Structure 1
Amino acid sequence: MATTLPNFRKQIATGDLKPVYLIAGAEHLLVIEAADLLRARAKVLGFIERDILDVEAHFDWSRLGDAGRSMSLFASRKVIDLRLPTGRPGKDGSAAIVEFCKSPPPDTLLLVTANDWSKKHEGAWSTAIERAGTAVTVWPLKREEMPDWIGARMAMRGLKATPDAIALLAERVEGNLLAAAQEIEKLSLVHAGKTLDLETLEASVADDARYDVFRLTDAAIGGDAGRAVHIVQGLREEGEEIIPMLGWMLTQLRLLLRLASASNVDSAMRTERIWPSSREGLFKRALKNGDRLHWERCLNQAGRIDRIAKGRGDGDAWRELERLVAAMASPRRGAVLITS
């Protein structure tokens, strides 16, 4: 069964869960939070054990079947957390997922998450998931939907705000849900239980020239290598963590890869709904200088940084991040900058 995100939230709130779920979409924050919601509900229902399978290059798909057949050490129900960032399992992966869905193991829940999705991603494997369980497609919010989303999230954090204050925040974050969520978290620490008016919000979210990942990504895409590297250094000095930053960077790199693969870039940009439209110039510049292979290299470099930051690889994650943003800004030097 295919469903929407609001219906998904309602469905898992009561009763038992389906044996298989797919949560897919390019809106990274919404995918993460939907998956977290499902895991929390599963835990309440006794799914205590959890196997995490990160699908990377040369992933051994027999691990999915093995995870389904292995008995729990604690006689509890188990979640198999299959992370498929690209939304493309390939021939072997598709076959493995289809086989799993034919007869899902008892007391086991398979959660497949993908951070990229379109009609082109659909196949026998996603159809099998819909038949055996539930598929949730997470589409980016439209511009006119942002104020309601911000208001609802504020309410969840014990905040109230006037309509003009919410409109200001929506304008400032320019459609970036992660940026909005971060601002709301900061506001909740200071103004919980209060009603924020326009003046208060302006003072709270004033641009104090603090370096952040959104400015960093735009500087890199826009070709300003010096500024991008300087921002990385500023983030490091401020004690920021790399892993949370990579989510937004990966989203933008995957977008660049999709655009670089499109036969008509202008049409693809309209489909992708780049917001605000002023950012289209950044992407056009990047696409003019970097081809599909370059953006694939950048994605691979981001994956390497993620592994280093998680202790699964050797190297200096911050140094590799500097190399990545420099390569993004200077595609013609990319092969040299991000080749070990």
Structure 2
Amino acid sequence: MRLSSSQLSSHLTRGLAPIYIVAGEEPLLIQESLDAIRAKARKDGYSERETLDVDKSFNWQRVVDSCASMSLFATRRIVEINLPSGAPGVEGSKVLQQLASKPPQDVLLILICGAIEWRSRSGAWYMAFETNGAALYFEPMQAGEFKPWLESRMKLAGVDLEPEALSLLAERTEGNLLAASQDIYKLNLLYPNSRITVDELENAVADSARYEAFDFIALMQQGDAPGAVRSLNRLREEGFEVMEILGALLWSLRTWAKAQAAYAQSGDAGSACQQAGVPRKNQAQLSKALIRTRLPQVYGWLRRCATIDSAAKSTGGKEQAWEELLILTLAASGAASRRVP
């Protein structure tokens, strides 16, 4: 079955599907869907989780073995496959189709992807997940969908804005779900149980941190790891919160991903930047980044943004959020050899 984010909650109250594919181009919705599925699984007794990260050298027999093996500590397990590219290849397609057609007993199989080409979503492996389990695919939210989504999100959070303030917030955050979510979170903390005016919104949601964050991101894209780390530390010392930096970072990474995909096809960094709509003043720095990175890496960093967001909002998670952001900074700057999933 196909599910939207709004349908997931009612679906989970009826019970888990045996297999899920959670994919698309909206990291916030992907991460929140995964969190909801995992929470339901824990409640239903899935007490162990194994994660398999797919790269070019990945042996797909590992997935088969993981699904077939018995655990010494848990009778029900979650097996997650991280496939950032959304392209399993010939061998992977066969394995995924086989497992989806006959889901393993006492195993909840979750396939996590970035963007998947529409042709692949018509392929046998994807259709097998959709037919025998549940598929959540998040296309980039269209302009007409954003404001209703924002209003729904505010209602769930108990945030009430005057009409003019709502329009201003929608204008500032349109197309950036994570930034909108962060702003709603901040407004809920600052103005609980009150109707928020335009002036109050202006005071609460200042753009200064985002502008300074773009300077930090420029150093990261240029491959200047020491400079990026110094810039990040300076933002922290000046009192900025992770949440204030993350919106700009997510927007930049999404643009980076679009340009990286174009570069993979053309091999021309300048043309790829233009195709992705990168401002002229930023094209030189991003061109450097395109040459040294690959699309699965960028998708991994996008997913990590949602993880950082969750940590920043959790009780006692502030320090973890900064640590995760530093790891991402080093990886995206080219200084860290380890892959950030």
Q: TM-score, normalised by structure 2?
A: 0.73
In the alignment, which residue of structure 2 is the partner of 1:2? 2
DSSP 3-state at the match of 2:135: strand
Residue equivalent to 2:144:
144
* Aligned with 1:260 (options 253, 263, 271): 263
Q: Residues 1-340 of structure 1 correspond to what in structure 2 (within 5 A)?
A: 1-12=1-12, 14-122=13-121, 123-209=123-209, 213=213, 216-217=216-217, 231-235=231-235, 237=237, 250-261=253-264, 280-282=278-280, 285=283, 289=287, 293-296=291-294, 299=297, 318=326, 321=329, 324-325=332-333
Quickly say closer, same or farther: Cα 1:299–1:68, change in 2 above 3 A. Answer: closer
Structure 2 distance, partners of 1:63, 1:76, is 19
Aligned-partner residue type, residue 51 of structure 2: I
Q: Is the 8 A contact 1:24 1:138 kept in 2?
A: yes
User: Is contact 1:221-1:282 (8 Å) kept?
Assistant: no
Instruction: Provide the C-alpha distance between the structure 2 equivalents of 1:74 and 1:111, rounded to a whole number of angstroms.
Output: 20
Distance 2:99 2:194 in 1: 50
Counterpart-to-counterpart distance in 1, 2:21 and 2:148: 26
Gap change, CA 1:32 and 1:339, over 3 Å in 2: closer
Whether the 8 Å contact between 2:229 and 2:330 is mirrored in structure 1 is yes
SS in 1 for 2:190: helix
Q: Deviations over 1:123-143 (max 9, x none)?
A: 332122123212121112112
**In 2: Cα distance, 1:207 partner to 1:186 partner:** 13
Over aligned residues, Cα RMSD in angstroms? 4.3
Which residue of structure 1 aligns with residue 316 of structure 2? none
Overall identity of the aligned pairs, in %: 32
| Counterpart in the other structure of 1:334 | none
Structure 2: tracts of 5 or more residues without a match: 309-323
Q: Aligned equivalents of 2:71 and 2:117: distance in 1? A: 35
Q: Distance in 2 between matches of 1:120 and 1:236?
A: 44
Q: Which amino acid aligns with 2:46?
A: F
Amino acid aligned to 1:285: Q
Residues 227 and 67 from structure 1, CA distance in 2 versus in 1: closer, same or farther, beyond 3 angstroms?
A: closer
Equivalent position amino acid for 1:183 in 2:
D
